Amino acid sequence: MRKLLIATLFTGSSLFASMYPLAPVRVTKDITCVIGDFNPPKKSNKGFVSNMCYVNMGDSLVVLDAGPTYLFAKAFYALMQKEYPKKKVSSVVLSNYHDDRIQGAGFFKDLGAKIIGHKTINEDIKKNPAKFERMKMIMPKAVLENTKVIPADILVEDGYKIKGAKKTLTVLKPSKVSEERSDIAIYSPDDSFLFVGNMVFGGRMLNYTKHSSVEGWITALENLAKLNAKYVMGGHGAKYDKDAYKASLNYLKVLRDTVKKAHEKEIEMEDIKLPETTFSKENIPYFKQLNYNNISNYYDQLEWAE
């Protein structure tokens, strides 16, 4: 029955591969990733804007984030099958609840994989239904075929272990809230590899939302840096060396210090200008728009904290 199901799910894989032409990036001998488009979701990228990876555990594969659609997950699975045609997907770990990361989970669930997320992820999904409307408004129905939001099967906290025949992955919760409260990292000590989702942005401007915590986000990155991983794969961007987190950390510290000082001096939010950061030096796409929103959101948090 399982073989029949997989055959059914896999039918027309070349079509989905052409819809999502994925270029594999071999990070280590056991970890392969794909790099998402640096733009927000739109018709041209079909929602594929975030990075995701798969890990060879020896006896199975573990997927890190599920992608934006059911058909994307199907194309990603086809990529995995080229390298490991006999290995099943045992688990999918969701680094937070965002649509570009979780909406492909249904495909892997149909394959029999367990969906893993932080203990807050199902609640975040329920509390933020609007998060799952944006792709419906911009994507053709054919792209969203079979796509639906499903809850995680296994809810975890810091230190959860995913054990395979040749290695163990550890789910880390480096602070209570960073960009989101459901943000988690996945660490493979055997590969000296960290997958950190939306805690790290590279090549694309980070998004500080009303749910974010600047102190928590900084703490998270500083705690993860202590692992001294050789590879740090963020949620966005093509850079994944050991220093990949530093641009995000630099920006967050400048955001915190500048906006807090301006707020204390009763400077209006519209008049706040951040000093130069790594992001502004590199002329990161969408810097101007998101930088303004980031300042506004953090300033509002300080206002409400009074």
**Cα gap 107→10, rounded to integer Å:** 10
Q: Is the pLDDT of residue 61 over 90?
A: yes
Q: Which domain holds residue 10?
A: 2-305
For residues 142 and 157, the answer to whether their CB atoms sit within 8 Å is: no
Closest by CA to 74, choosing from 150, 12, 152, is 12
Question: d(Cα 109, Cα 107) in Å, to the nearest integer?
Answer: 5
The 3-state DSSP composition of the chain as helix, strand, coil percent (nearest 5) reads 35, 20, 45
pLDDT, one tens digit per residue, over 116-156 is: 999 999 999 999 999 999 999 999 999 999 999 999 999 99
Name residues whose C-beta falls within 8 Å of residue 142's C-beta, 6 or more positions apart in sequence.
none
- Mean per-residue pLDDT of the chain: 94
**This prediction's pTM:** 0.93
Residue 91 has what pLDDT? Answer: 98
- Residue 106 token pair: 């249904």
Mean pLDDT on 19-43: 95
Half-sphere exposure of 96 (CA within 13 A, CB side): 26
* 8 pLDDT above the threshold of 50: no
In Å, how far from its chain's centre is CA 142?
Answer: 24
pLDDT of 203 reads 83
Q: How many domains does the chain have?
A: 1
Contact in structure between 233 and 263 (CB atoms under 8 Å): no
Q: Which two tokens stand for residue 15?
A: 């079509």
How far apart, in whole angstroms, are the C-alpha atoms of residue 89 and residue 60?
A: 6
CA distance 138 to 85: 34
Q: Diameter of the chain by CA atoms?
A: 67
Give per-residue pLDDT as tens, 80-125. Answer: 999 999 999 999 999 999 999 999 999 999 999 999 999 999 999 9
**Regarding predicted confidence, which is higher, 90 or 13?**
90
Q: Once rounded to an integer, what is the mean pLDDT over residues 283-304?
A: 94
Q: Dihedral sign for Cα 187, 193, 194, 197, please.
A: negative
Can you tell me the distance from the alpha carbon of 259 to that of 244, in angstroms, rounded to the nearest whole number?
Answer: 24
pLDDT band at 19 (very low <50, low <70, confident <90, very high): confident
CATH number at residue 126: 3.60.15.10
* Burial environment of residue 3 by CB neighbours within 10 A (0 to 12, 13 to 18, 19 or more): exposed
> Above 80 in pLDDT, residue 16?
no
Q: For the segment 234-291, what is each residue's pLDDT rounded down to a tens digit?
A: 999 999 999 999 999 999 999 999 999 999 999 999 999 999 999 998 888 889 999 9
Distance of CA 240 to CAs 16, 221, 247, 287, Å? 27, 14, 12, 20
Quick one: three-class SS letters along 55-67? EECCCCEEEECCC
